Amino acid sequence: MKIKREISSEFKNLVAAYPVVTITGPRQAGKTTLTRMEFPDYKYCNLENPEIRKFASDDPNAFFDEFGYPLIIDEVQRVPELLSYIQTIVDEKQKKGMFILTGSHRFDLNEAITQSLAGRTALLHLLPFSIKELNKAGISLKRDEYIHKGFLPRIYKDDLEPTRAYRNYFQTYVERDMRQLINLRNIAEFEIFLRLLAGRAGQLVNLSSLSNDIGISVTTLQGWLSILEASFIVFKLYPYYENFGKRIIKSPKIYFTEIGLATYLLGIENINQVSRDPLIGNLFENLVVIEAVKARLNKGLDPNMFFYRDNNKNEVDLIYKCANTLIPIEIKSAKTFNKVFFKGINYFKTITSRASEGYLIYSGQFTPDIGSNKVRHFTDTYEIVE
């Protein structure tokens, strides 16, 4: 089953305009499938292959003589020194669409690109399927099914059982990558950290509390969290700052880029357990926030998303900054509409003239427009930020 990716249009436009296009994103998000589907005539190599990786590392000139161009190089962060050779080739040839690069680790790749390919490559970020993409392919699920099944392409392609699929994904990719990137002495402690992090999805990051729970130093947890963010496992949502005259919360909130992984880490093994879980509100918020992020990234745009919270417990779950306008968005897992859901949005409008009409995204079907605010079903999240 091939599902058309929303990012495809922007991807093809960039390949026509730049000598190099780099696509980053989490493991198994569909980067290879996208590149090979959109550009089937390009030669292809994967640096996860030990023989090809050794060839590229030992003799880069022979590597490029062998593969030539146009060329797709998968997991290019495994041999970052190739980027210097790519720079030389594109500067000499002065052609568009010579190389398409993919990578799963932002740290290694960003540093290498900054040094070698600045001004020569366009950057795109690909996350797993979005609800919009699935809907266009004729796949329409209920809220709890999306949360349990998640959005990894292989789950839909091969009709995999979600719990088993995410267990294998965690052990095969997450644990392995973490071992490569950091010196993990005890994988059990790291797994505890991830599970506790999943229990705090949609909440402020408090590493001191996590440090006390696990018995690992805050410094070590900071390093782990940075690697998780660089590997596209988690996404940090930062607070919006303005001179509001009150003390604003400054810590970011944490979300998982793949809601199915968070659900697995929480021990949820079937759809019936989703709505009964005490963290259903957090999981639903995670689902909606990442759907909004996907909508922006698939257009080749920065997310431009924040949240608001002050010490008086006034808060807005999501703020989308569109030019000079701030669009406040409240997210509720409830299936019954209540006007009190707009409390945070209405407060936010009183402290800044830049706030526009607000949106409530919730699980119910009743969608009235309330004054200057609007109600939307969660499957329509993308309409607000595109």
Predicted local distance difference test score (pLDDT) of residue 332: 97
pLDDT(260) > 90: yes
pLDDT, the chain, mean: 92
Sign of CA dihedral 97, 103, 108, 110: positive
pTM of this structure: 0.94
Predicted local distance difference test score (pLDDT) of residue 183: 66
Each domain of the chain, given as residue ranges in start order, spans 8-125, 132-385
334-346: pLDDT as tens digits: 999 999 999 999 9
Predicted local distance difference test score (pLDDT) of residue 245: 59
pLDDT(71) > 90: yes
Strands 20-24 and 234-239: unpaired
298-320: pLDDT as tens digits: 999 999 999 999 888 899 999 99
pLDDT(204) > 80: yes
Q: What are phi and psi of 23, to 5 degrees?
A: -115, 120
| Cα–Cα nearest to 350, from 310, 323, 386, 377 | 310
Least confident of 131-145, 240-254, 305-319: 240-254
271-288: pLDDT as tens digits: 999 999 999 999 999 999
* Residue of 329 and 366 predicted with greater confidence: 329
112-121: pLDDT as tens digits: 777 788 889 9
344-384: pLDDT as tens digits: 999 999 999 999 999 999 999 877 777 789 999 999 999 99
Question: Considering the domain 8-125 in this protein, what is its CATH number?
Answer: 3.40.50.300
Whole-number Å distance between alpha carbons of 359 and 384? 8
